[in-house]
Amino acid sequence: MTDGRWTRTGGALLVVTVAAALIGARGGAHPVPDGGTADGVAPVRAVMAAPVVAAGVSADSFRRVLTGVAEAWNAGDARRAVARFTDDATYSQPPDRQLRRGRAQLFDYFGGTKGRPGEMRMTWHHLAFDSTTQVGFGEFSFTYGTTAHGVAVVRLRDGRIANWREYWVESPLDWRGFTRQNPF
């Protein structure tokens, strides 16, 4: 007998399947009308859970989303960059250095219809992604007047960026010089 139920746990949709299994001491249990078994071993219930990632994306898709954002910023194309974010996306630098909510604010922040004055340059160095939680990380270098190196923590929803939280440090050094004490 199988009973399928949908549950929401920690933001991830799970399909929970509950199966009743009969286990016998000699490799074969025989059910009897009272719900027990002919050899006296009681039924055992097994619970199996598997994340549903149909609406989620793979690590390769994550890489394409973040690479697309960098390419759009490098081209000064705010419209193309903001298209990779959800309508209600949150973009922040904790604790209170910057906070943007929604595509309209992001579009303006990314340069709007006129683009930002001056050249922007974003380069990803390392990207990692957990397809179960739809959360990933990337080390980056960003130049817009000055250069900064940092990490962005990103959560995707339906293949777009729903949350972007970044931490960075300004430095006159390029990436190789910045990471010289611990290169990989």
The pLDDT tens digits of the residues spanning 19-73 come to: 223 233 334 444 444 444 444 544 433 333 333 334 689 999 999 999 999 999 9
Q: In this structure, are 46 and 63 located in the same domain?
A: no
Q: 72 and 161: one domain?
A: yes
Residue with tokens 């990632």: 53
Residue 47 lies in a domain: yes
User: What pLDDT, on the 0 to 100 scale, is given for residue 100?
Assistant: 97
Shared domain for 68 and 143, answered yes or no, is yes
Is the domain of 95 the same as that of 132? yes
Is the domain of 46 the same as that of 75?
Answer: no
Domain that holds residue 142: 59-178
Do 23 and 107 lie in a common domain? Answer: no
Q: Is 72 found in the same domain as 41?
A: no
> Do 94 and 158 fall into the same domain?
yes
* Cα angle, residue 138 at apex, residues 136 and 144 outer, rounded to 5°: 135
pLDDT at 5 over 90: no
**Same domain, residue pair 64 and 99:** yes
Q: What pLDDT score was predicted for residue 116?
A: 85
Report the domain count for the chain: 2
CB 69 within 8 Å of CB 43: no
**Share in percent of the chain as helix, strand, coil (round to 5):** 20, 45, 35
Distance CA 42, CA 3 (A): 19
**Which percentage of the chain shows pLDDT scores above 70?**
70
Report the distance separating Cα 179 and Cα 164, nearest Å. Answer: 23
